[in-house]
Structure 1
């Protein structure tokens, strides 16, 4: 269960990463109130679309027929309001008690940010909400493909949070702990996710085998990638929020294993490794630790896409190969070689990876 403080943080981080959130709780826990309060705090509109009271055209738009043919789709009022305001919150409520066709229309909005033929602004934050099927009349489990596209949060504010709200007329929410991600922070999380899946490849994709599991988070290539994007918007030490994201995107089993593995790693930040590769005890580190660090370095260089970043990234790889981790460094060098920007030349020190670079089609003789 996730308290109010962490829920606010995760909604913020997910919105920054453009990953839709799905709040689950018993009726009366305040899911819609949280979204309205977030909108009020940001000074933006909130539009609520209640799935059980809508038809697909209320979400996707009404066909406009001209000369006997559909020419366009008229925007629903809620979409026009958000577009005119250039942002805001969209709450897709009661998603577990509406028809399959309405769910499908909601999914298109949540994932593609499309309403008919019109794209919602990137500044629209999308949150869905639902009661567990066994706690609502006519409740149904989400289909596995639909469930896999959301970050699921089991929302349960603490008694203390509720009491604080009562005393303050629910006038304010806790401040988000989310952060703006940069290339280095993204690289930290890409490296961690890649190293974990390298160590536990069976967890890369596990299609749910029960109806209950099918409607919640489960691990897939899509959800692991989404997790890396959302985690980049959280502090490295925010264990509560990181755990909520992991369990909410890849499920309890894979998410718990990831958190246990992460706690045992004690990984340095990619920024620190790039600045001084010698801070890592390469020879004493476990292979998965080396994988995590070097995967992050390669991800940073690939994301930057510049010659300077690509040249700099060879430093930690050479350091690792020289000081006890040549096999892992060689594998990382293969990935870095493939990401070489146009006009770049491998540094002279990279000749240590001669065979790898030749296999990648690089001219080792032209090393700088």
Structure 2
């Protein structure tokens, strides 16, 4: 359970990365009031959809025959949000939705697709749910739907409730989320990929019990969502980092990941490119991989010939320091993102000839 300010931060950070959030609590905790309050504070609309009173076509779109063929006409709430260009879509009482409606929500939750309409990037998806045994005619959340949300336990403290009663629910705490720049986004991706290289068994771990399938668990999708959302919180914001991590990949794996991140202490990829000697290339292979992965991501994000050529420096340094396998693994994606006019440095051609040949760069001129 997080404090209210952390919950608002998690919702904001996830929203910036297009990651939907699921607020879980007993009935009457104020989930819908919080979401409406955030929307009011931001000056954007909030549309609430009760899946328990909807048919699948109300969510997935109603088939209509037109002169151009059959289309899936989006419902009114989707058209209103699309017209505004921003806002919150609140899927309330998710555990009262029958399986057919939950299935219709799969594309809506993560891709913000309603019928033939894709909602604007400014629309954020938040859901609310009670435990199935405390919901009216409760249903367990299906594994595919559960795996599309960041799960957040929501139980405001007495003081937070008193503050809401005093100042009004339309004045939620300020978010601590940040706007990630491309370098930070790539650095966080490197943390995630470095951990998975260290613990590949955690890439996908479908729960062993039926109850756990409706909760957060690690999959290829949730790791990608985690990388996007974590980039939008500060490294020193332990509460928000924990809330996002536990909410997407579960507590057990989440503890391992956060511990690994703390121990890895990865440097800025731009600094590594300028001076590869900053890194001990004889360090653990998983840490070396994470550093090189962040360098590759930095070069891919920059998209320039200069950045691409300079990014080979750390890979060469790692290979010469005794980590040729790790550097070769990082060379594959770097070779694949070569700008059209970039020429492969001569030293790179000599060291990574097989990798370059596999990427179709063996005939590219050296410089």
Same fold (TM over 0.5): yes
Aligned to 1:34: 34
Deviation at 1:36, TM superposition (A): 0.3
Match of 1:136 in 2: 135
For 2:249 and 2:301, locate their aligned partners in 1 and report how far apart those are by CA, in whole Å. Answer: 24
Name the structure 1 match of 2:343.
345
Structure 2 Cα separation of the partners of residues 193 and 295 of structure 1: 10
Change in 2 beyond 3 A, CA 1:352/1:19: same
SS at match of 2:47: strand
Aligned to 2:94, the other structure's residue is in SS state coil
Residue 24 of structure 1 aligns with which residue?
Answer: 24
The Cα offsets for residues 265-298 of structure 1, whole Å up to 9 and x where unpaired, read as: 1222223323433222333x32221111111111
Give the alignment of 1:155-194 within 5 angstroms: 155-194=154-193
CA distance in 1, matches of 2:64, 2:201: 49
Where does 1:232-271 land on structure 2 (aligned, <5 Å)? Answer: 232-271=231-270
- The gaps in structure 1 that reach 5 residues or longer are none
Aligned equivalent of 1:79: 78
Matched, 1:289 2:297: no
Structure 2 spans left out of the alignment, 5+ residues = none
Equivalent pair of 1:12/1:176 in contact (CA under 8 Å): yes
Helix, strand or coil: the match of 1:366?
A: coil
Check conservation: 2:9, 2:175, Cα contact below 8 A: yes
Please report the TM-score for the alignment, with normalisation by the length of structure 1: 0.91
8 Å CA contact retained: 1:191, 1:292: yes
Contact kept? 1:141, 1:211, Cα under 8 Å: no
CA contact (8 A) 1:282 1:290 kept: yes
Distance 2:311 2:60 in 1: 46
Alpha carbons 1:354, 1:364 under 8 Å: kept: no
Q: Return closer, same or farther for 1:167/1:29 CA change in 2, 3 Å cut-off.
A: same
Distance 1:347 1:139, change over 3 A: same
Please point out which of 310, 313, 316 is paired with 1:312.
Answer: 310
d(CA) in 1 for partners of 2:129 and 2:121?
A: 24
**Aligned equivalents of 2:73 and 2:334: distance in 1?**
48
TM-score (norm 2): 0.92
Query: What's the secondary structure of 1:48's corresponding residue?
Result: strand
Structure 2 residue aligned with 1:330: 328
RMSD: 2.3
